[in-house]
Amino acid sequence: MTSHTTKKNIVRVAAAHVSSEFFDPAGGVTKAIKYLTEAAQAGAELIVFPESFIPGFPIWNALSSPITGHENFVKFAAASLRVDGPEIKAIASAAAQQKISVSLGFSEVADYSAGCLWNATVLIDAQGVIVNHHRKLVPTFYEKLTWSRGDGAGLSVVDMPIGRVGGLICGENGNPLSRYTLMAQGEEIHCANYPPIWPFKDPRKSEPYDLADAIRVRAAAHCFEAKVFTIVSSGFLTDENLSLVCNDDEATAILENSPRSASMIVMPNGLTLGNTLSDREGLVLADIDVSSLVELKQHHDMAGYYNRHDVFHVSVNRSRQKPLHDVVDQGANGSAPMIHTSLQESLDSIN
């Protein structure tokens, strides 16, 4: 964050309420470009896509035992993206061409392991540059069967011409310390993304988990406490998606009876701005006035005067996780450098 001066007041933003092309990264790229172009033509300067939009959300983890999910995991890992790969480069190029910023949810694969995945987002500016890359800190519930834990490297707010933009993934939007970390960096526009559905219990046997209502509560809470606008983008589940992720009638019945998610834009007073989408694909568009946020902070400024920095201390480890750490020593008497690694140290301790 390089400035505390908002460069632009009225900003048109868009939330994409769209279905994924499951296991098909090329199809996901085509769809992302289609909707970011549509949003730009409607005057939007920022569009937010759903959680793990490419290559889809691993909902099968909720529907069957882990020992039956190997095939889907292998397909999902093969369809996951490298952050520096051609798929994200294509979307970044389209963003630059259309002059629109993009928050993209995707499943990321590590460059050092084909089976190490993260639930990730990238924020791409209107010049096509990746200005932030975040990995979800903790996979939620059955997400642990697919994704690894992320890190604090992407818990950042980026100063952009449209305002100071941050974001969190799904359940992170209920994490007080993650949200405070963004508040403390002067966040003004918050990007939140969610899956199309979240079965917690069998909805035919007990009260179902209402994902859309949970989204509203989380977004309203953060908007009110942080004095921000939140753009919520959630996935949409098509009949074709159902056939791809459900391997029997029982799983299909669970999804068909589970409440769907919703996409919306939420104001600092907790109310939605414009329409809310749940039962069809499309864009939620709204104009927001980031200059209106300063007045609200006279009432409550959770990272400013309404906090006690002498009482509370919050620190963030921003180092990116690595499986191997090289340490280079010059060596005695000017001899050739010696490289020690955490792996070698582990082997030495065993031997």
**What digits encode the pLDDT tens for the residues 287-332?**
999 999 999 999 999 999 999 999 999 999 999 988 998 888 766 5
Domain co-membership, 345 together with 268: no
Query: Is residue 289 helix, strand or coil?
Result: strand
Cβ-contact 162, 45 below 8 angstroms: yes
Domain co-membership, 203 together with 267: yes
Sheet holding 101-109, edge to edge: 130-135, 117-124, 101-109, 46-48, 10-17, 282-289
Give pLDDT tens digits for 247-274.
Answer: 788 999 999 999 999 999 999 999 999 9
Which pLDDT does position 63 carry in this prediction? 92
Domain co-membership, 264 together with 182: yes
CATH of the domain at 125: 3.60.110.10
> Closest Cα to residue 123, out of 138, 105, 109?
105
Domain co-membership, 217 together with 86: yes
Cβ-contact 222, 173 below 8 angstroms: yes
CA dihedral 147, 150, 155, 158 (to 10 degrees): -60
Q: Which residues contact 262 (CB under 8 A, 6 or more apart)?
A: 17, 211, 212, 215, 216, 232, 234, 276, 277, 278
Domain hosting residue 348, numbered range: 327-351
Cβ-contact 107, 80 below 8 angstroms: yes
Cβ-contact 140, 170 below 8 angstroms: yes
- Where does residue 197 fall: left (phi above 0), alpha (psi -120 to 50 degrees), or beta otherwise? beta
pLDDT mean by block of 10 residues, the chain; 351 residues: 57 98 98 98 98 97 92 97 98 98 98 97 98 98 97 98 98 97 98 96 90 96 98 96 85 92 97 95 98 93 94 94 83 57 46 42
Which pLDDT does position 8 carry in this prediction? 64
Last residue of a domain, one of 296, 311, 337: 296
Which pLDDT does position 333 carry in this prediction? 62
In a domain, 252, yes or no: yes
Domain co-membership, 187 together with 336: no
DSSP state of 263: B
Cβ-contact 112, 323 below 8 angstroms: yes
In a domain, 224, yes or no: yes
Half-sphere exposure of 56 (CA within 13 A, CB side): 27
Distance of alpha carbon 188 from the chain centroid = 17
CA distance 175 to 214: 13
